[in-house]
Structure formats: C-alpha cells, structure tokens
Structure 1
Amino acid sequence: MATPTTDDQEELLLSCRYGELDDVKEFVTKFGAEALADVRDANGNCVLHMACGNGHLDLLNYLLPLVPATLLAARNEAQSTPLHWAAVNAHLDIAQVLVKFSGGPGVDLIDIKNAAGRTPLGEAELAGWDEGATWLVQMMKLDSENNNAENETDPVEGEDTLDATAVQDMEVEIEDADGGVAKMTISGGQ
C-alpha cells in the first residue's frame, strides 16, 4: 500500500475532527488500517483524540476495531488521552464506548493523569459535567481489594444485614492531584 503524505495525514485528522466517516474510510482503503495508528498532529493528537473530543460516535465505532487497543490510552503533548477529551467536552456515549471497549485498557483509562495532574474524572468535574463524573465514579475500581469473595464473611445468625437494593444514595469524596476534594452523591439503583 501507498504511504500517506503529510497532507494525507492532515486531511485524515480533519476528517476525524469533523466526523467525515466516508473520508476516513477512503483513507483506510488507500493506505490501510495500520496507517491510522501513526497519524498525529503537531500537538500529538491521534485519530481517537479528534473523534472523541468532537463526539463522533459513528466514527469512533468504525475506528476502534481498526486501531491497536493501545491507542485508547494514547497521550498527546499535554498527556491527555481520548477519554480526557471526551470528558472535557461532555460526551458520555464516547466515554462509555472507550471504557467498555473489549480488549482495551477498560476502567484503567479513568486513572490516567494528564500533565495538569487531572484524570478524565477530574476533567469532568472541572468542566461541571456531573453526569459524566457520576458515571466515571460508578465505573472506577473503588476498594477492589476489599471486594474479593475471599474477604467476605458470613453474617452471624440473627445479625442485621444490609440489603444492597435498599441503598438509595452514596456520597463519595475524591481528592484531586492538587489536594482539592470534590464531593459527589451517586444514586442507588432505584
């Protein structure tokens, strides 16, 4: 296959930025899917940064099976990942696809800090995007060591037990890299 020129790469990134799926498909036909992973702009942004930051779900769904799973955690010059960009721009459907993508980094994406010391959750909070911040907190591995079955004990006979369905809300405090604390209430399954 042919090698994309700098102009071809710039056009690809613009197509990803503006959600021009047909143009991206044309690039893949001409240069192969492998060429997608190497394309970066001057700030280190890849095709996933552009699609995720601009909320192009159809394009993201097309790209994900074609690019290496490592691209989901690709960092630009500011050390931000595509999930950071989705969080900054309040794209819940994009964040969900990135975190849930089979074979990808999964919930570990939520813990990656950018150069400002913020995770995607921190970016969501800073942007005032409560819906996304709540979803990200729900997806996080909170106290995963304490949730192992081997650590569980049977209740003593006659002892009251907590019915998980009875939990209405849970208040969570999250400390950011600068020592600031954000409080958030997560609603139960009701």
Structure 2
Amino acid sequence: MKMYRIYINDTVLIIADVLPGGLGNYQQVDENDFNFGQFYKVAKGGPASINVLLTKDPKQTFKKMRRSFLVIKAAGGVVRNDENQFLFIFRKGKWDLPKGKLDEGEKTKKAAVREVEEECGITVSKLGDMLCKTWHVYEEKGQVVFKKTTWFNMMATRQALIPQLEEGITEARWLASGDFDYIKENTYPLIRDVISLLEV
C-alpha cells in the first residue's frame, strides 16, 4: 500500500491506493472534485477529522497537489534518555516534539540534532535511525506551506532542560511512556502518530 498523510492542525488527509485499516470515523474525498486549496481553507479552522482520498497513484497525486505551494524542509528528534524517558516541549498551548527548519545547505541529520539542542538546551549523545517523515501544511506570511519533517531517534543523558523561550517554548520536560496518554490529550494528530511509532 502506498500512502501519504498530510496534517492541517487537527485535520488529517490520507492519500492512498487502498483504504488503510484502523482509521475509526473518516470521510472519503471524491478525487474528481478535489481541490487542495479549497480543502485547506475548510480544514485549517475545522474540527478534528480524518479524510481519505483514494487514487491509483498516490505519489503522483501528492506531487501534483503540492506543486503549487512552497515546500520547506525541517528535521526533529524523538529523544530518549538513560532512564527511558522521552523529551517533550510545550509550545503555543500544546505538547510537541523539538524540530525546526534546515538552514541553507545544512544536512538533515545535523539540523535535527541542532534543533533539539537549541530548543531544549541539552547535548544529544547519539543520533539514531530515521523514525519517519511527516507533512504538515500551514500558512506563513499569507502563503500556504508544505513542511516536510524528517524525524530521528536520539539518545541523551538525563540533564536539566532549558526551553528556548524566543521560539515560543514555555516548557521542556522528560516524560515516561506511561505519560503518553497525557500528551495525546493536548497535542496535534501529527505528534500522536509519531508517538505511536515508538517501541517502548
């Protein structure tokens, strides 16, 4: 099965060639009438929903969809410490994971470590494998942006956290996997899906 997940605040748009299992309540989108610009306008302020667009060629459909918009590359980390706790940040009223845009000419892995260290005031001791890639759509200066974030597993010793206030991060916290339900109550669908990939 080929599939893309695009996140717009609390809305998820899934582009796939086969209906994924375990979705719960979802709405199917008609491929023939679909216009991403119109969909985005409704989705950005709408209630939480899962929308599925079935198509023979998800990759081509997705490439065509994002062609008209600016694409920004970002990288972030899921950091585990030596006490098997995970690093979360609190930004703009929701729990999140540290991430940020690549600087010009910067490699994805280097950007991921840099962003985690800058946003949380820690030193990463080990960069692990790539965990996943996500697509998040939002507006910046009136322009619709597709942000592609590459997420990596990371390790760090348990150390004091210093949230990067100038980036709107008001808290950084080490949390055990047993606290994931607490995080999921006040986070984005994108972060919930990243968390669900962790082997705890």
Taking structure 1 as the reference length, what is the TM-score of the superposition?
A: 0.30
Higher relative contact order, chain-length normalized (CA < 8 Å, sep 6+): 2
User: Which one has the bigger strand percentage?
Assistant: 2
Taking structure 2 as the reference length, what is the TM-score of the superposition?
A: 0.29
User: Which one has the bigger helix percentage?
Assistant: 1
